[in-house]
Amino acid sequence: MAVRKRVCRFNVWINPVFDARLGAEPDIDLQVGDLKGPEDALAALLAHAHVLHVSPARDELPRRWHVTDALLADCPNLLAVSSAGAGFDTVDAAACTRAGVAVVNQVGGNARSVAELAIGLMLAVSRKICVSDRLLRTARGFTRESLMGHEIGGATLGLIGIGHTGREVAKLARGFDMRVLAHDPLLPDAEIRARGAEPVDRARLLAESDIVSLHCPLDDTTRGSFDAVSFAAMKPGALFITTARGGVHDEAALAAALTAGHLAGAGLDVWAPEPPPLDAALLRLDTVVATYHTAGVTHEARRNVAAWGAEQIVGLLRGETPPRLVNPEVWPTVLERRARLLGGA
């Protein structure tokens, strides 16, 4: 008798296309673990799972269920961890590689949605949209001139990272006749040009950009990389936008740069922690437009990542190389383990 393939996810919201796709496979059992239920019941589900589909939101998933060496030690049947998003902040990819476990994500599935919000934040900050909204609802006696902002058309936009999302931002920026610069140490200059931006070093980007927008991952090379020195190196009166990850920028240093008037405004979708405390210094500034890590949270993006995630899991369990494999070096080991656990070639 063929071995049943077991996929586990937690009971957080997911577009129903995910469950429907896996449910169409006669040899796959999808099991949903209750995060508010007994820990031992959830641990038992994970102990038998072949694939774990997990949220990448580090502050929404209890630390107990982040994929670490400790969790992997209790999951001897696990072949793969699938992130329900472009990032995989709740997954220790190196630990997975050591354990012979593949890590897959859905990078690109929400790129258009994130890019649209990045442009939206630029407009909201530059045109003082949120300040105008608050005043119109609560006060009188102000003038339209007191709400005067700047066009983003014709401005110089600097992208830190021009991967899937950065490329979409560059495409949208061209509709505003923006000059687009990009710094991405992972890409050659020719590829950056092909993605719609002028390749420059980081120092030049900070010095020349009217708007700096972050589209880089959070890792050891980027953590805390936008600090007081970086903000001081930005063009006076520039805007800072991030839809990347909280932790890349120093929130206290950004608040200081805004309060001092060196930077004119910021649009922030990501925080450390999420959500930030109500008394966070950045939330007290009218020059900040704040959103709650919703750049990729649209109906279209959530459907994309759910559909992509399910399809990738189905293929992976058949032995097909996943198209969005984070740690490709582990794949031969995964195939060997799959043959032992599930049988077949």
Question: Which residues participate in catalysis according to the annotation?
Answer: 245, 274, 293
| Residue of 55, 8, 54 whose CA lies nearest to 28 | 8
> What totals of helices (H) and strands (E) does the chain contain, helices first?
13, 12
Give the CA count within 13 Å in the CB-facing half-sphere of 213: 34
Tokens 């990272």 belong to residue: 161
b/e string for 109-143 if b means 16 or more Cβ within 10 A?
A: bbbbbbbbbbbbbbebbbbbbbbbeebeeeeeeee
Residue 155 structure tokens: 């401005």
Tokens 């043959």 belong to residue: 339
Backbone angles phi, psi at 289, to 5 degrees: -105, 125
DSSP per residue, 276-297? PPTT-GGGG-TTEEE--S-TT-
Contact of 83 with 60, CB cutoff 8 Å: no
Radius of gyration of the chain (CA): 22
**Beta partners for 328?**
none
**145 SS3 class:** helix
**235 SS3 class:** coil
Contact of 251 with 231, CB cutoff 8 Å: no
Give the CA count within 13 Å in the CB-facing half-sphere of 260: 13
Residue 109 structure tokens: 């599935």
